[in-house]
A and B are shown apart, each in its own frame.
Chain A
Amino acid sequence: MDKVMRLASEKDVVVFSKSSCCLCYAITILFQELGVTSTVHEIDQDPEGREMEKTLVRLGCNAPVPAIFVGGRLVGSTNEVMSLHLSGGLIPMLKPYQTWC
Chain B
Amino acid sequence: MSSSSLEVSTPMEEEGIEAIETWNVGEQQELEGDEGSKLSIALDINSTCAKVAFFIISKSMNSPTPQFVPSRLGIYEPIHQTGIWGENFKSNGNPNTSTSVIVEVDNKLENESETTSHEMLAPSNNYEQEASKPIDKIQRRLAQNREAARKSRLRKKAYVQQLENSRLKLIQLEQELQRARQQGLYMGGVLEGSHIGFSGTVNSEDSVGIAAFEMEYGRWVDVQHRQICELRTALNAHISDIELRILVESGMGHYFELFRMKSTVAKADVFYVISGVWKTSAERFFSWIGGFRPSELLKVLVPQLDPLTEQQILEVCNLKQSCQQAEDALSQGMEKLQETVSSTVAGGPVDEVSYIPQVATAMEKLEALVSFVNQADHLRQETLQQMSRILTTRQAARGLLALGEYFHRLRALSTLWATRPSEPSLP
- By a beta-carbon cutoff of 8 Å, the part of chain A in contact with chain B is 20-23, 25-27, 29-30, 33-34, 63, 78-79, 82-83, 85-88, 90-91
**Chain A contacts for B323, CB-based, 8 A:** 86
Q: Is the CB of A29 within 8 A of B328?
A: yes
**Cβ of B302 under 8 Å from chain A:** no
Docked pose: A33 CA to B332 CA in angstroms: 12
- Extra contacts, 8 of them, besides A26-B333, A26-B334 (Cβ < 8 A), are A20-B368, A23-B333, A25-B333, A78-B375, A79-B375, A82-B326, A86-B379, A87-B386
Q: Is the CB of A25 within 8 A of B332?
A: yes
Contact mask for chain B residues 358-379; partner A; CB cutoff 8 A; 1 contact, 0 none: 0000001100100110010011
**Chain B contacts for A22, CB-based, 8 A:** 333-334, 336-337, 340, 368, 372
Q: Is the CB of B318 within 8 A of A88?
A: yes
Known: A20-B365, A22-B333. A85 touches B372 (CB 8 A): no
**Chain B contacts for A91, CB-based, 8 A:** 322
**Cβ of B414 under 8 Å from chain A:** no
Docked pose: A26 CA to B368 CA in angstroms: 12
Q: Is the CB of A83 within 8 A of B382?
A: yes
**Cβ of B185 under 8 Å from chain A:** no
Known: A22-B336, A22-B337, A88-B318. A33 touches B375 (CB 8 A): no
User: Which size class do B's interface residues fall under?
Assistant: 20 to 34
Across the A-B interface, give the 10 residue pairs with the lowest CB-CB distance, nearest first: A26-B333, A30-B329, A22-B337, A29-B329, A26-B329, A22-B336, A86-B382, A22-B333, A29-B332, A85-B322
Q: Is the CB of A34 within 8 A of B325?
A: yes
Q: Is the CB of B329 within 8 A of A27?
A: yes
Q: Is the CB of B378 within 8 A of A33?
A: no
Complex partner residue of A23 from B315, B318, B371, B386, CB under 8 angstroms: B371
Sample of 19 A–B contacts (CB below 8 Å): A20-B365, A20-B368, A22-B337, A22-B372, A23-B368, A23-B371, A23-B372, A25-B336, A26-B333, A29-B328, A30-B325, A33-B325, A33-B329, A82-B326, A82-B382, A85-B325, A86-B323, A87-B386, A90-B322
**Cβ of B109 under 8 Å from chain A:** no
A22 to chain B, nearest CB (A): 4
Contact mask for chain B residues 382-421; partner A; CB cutoff 8 A; 1 contact, 0 none: 1100100000000000000000000000000000000000
**Chain B contacts for A90, CB-based, 8 A:** 322
- A85 to B, closest residue via Cβ: B322
Docked pose: A78 CA to B370 CA in angstroms: 14
Docked pose: A20 CA to B365 CA in angstroms: 7
- Indicate the member of A21, A86, A88 with the most B CB atoms within 10 Å: A86
**Cβ of B180 under 8 Å from chain A:** no
Q: Is the CB of B368 within 8 A of A21?
A: yes
**Chain A contacts for B221, CB-based, 8 A:** none
- Indicate the member of B330, B334, B368, B386 with the most A CB atoms within 10 Å: B330
Docked pose: A33 CA to B325 CA in angstroms: 7
**Chain A contacts for B375, CB-based, 8 A:** 23, 26, 78-79, 82
Q: Is the CB of A26 within 8 A of B322?
A: no
Docked pose: A8 CA to B320 CA in angstroms: 31
A28 to chain B, nearest CB (A): 9
Q: Is the CB of B319 within 8 A of A86?
A: yes
**Chain A contacts for B372, CB-based, 8 A:** 22-23
**Chain B contacts for A27, CB-based, 8 A:** 329
- B294 to A, closest residue via Cβ: A86
**Chain B contacts for A21, CB-based, 8 A:** 368
Q: Is the CB of B333 within 8 A of A82?
A: no
B293 to chain A, nearest CB (A): 14
Complex partner residue of A30 from B326, B340, B364, B383, CB under 8 angstroms: B326
**Chain B contacts for A87, CB-based, 8 A:** 382, 386
**Chain A contacts for B365, CB-based, 8 A:** 20
Q: Is the CB of A85 within 8 A of B333?
A: no
- Indicate the member of B322, B325, B330, B386 with the most A CB atoms within 10 Å: B322
**Chain B contacts for A63, CB-based, 8 A:** 371
Docked pose: A33 CA to B383 CA in angstroms: 19
A43 to chain B, nearest CB (A): 16
B316 to chain A, nearest CB (A): 11
- A90 to B, closest residue via Cβ: B322
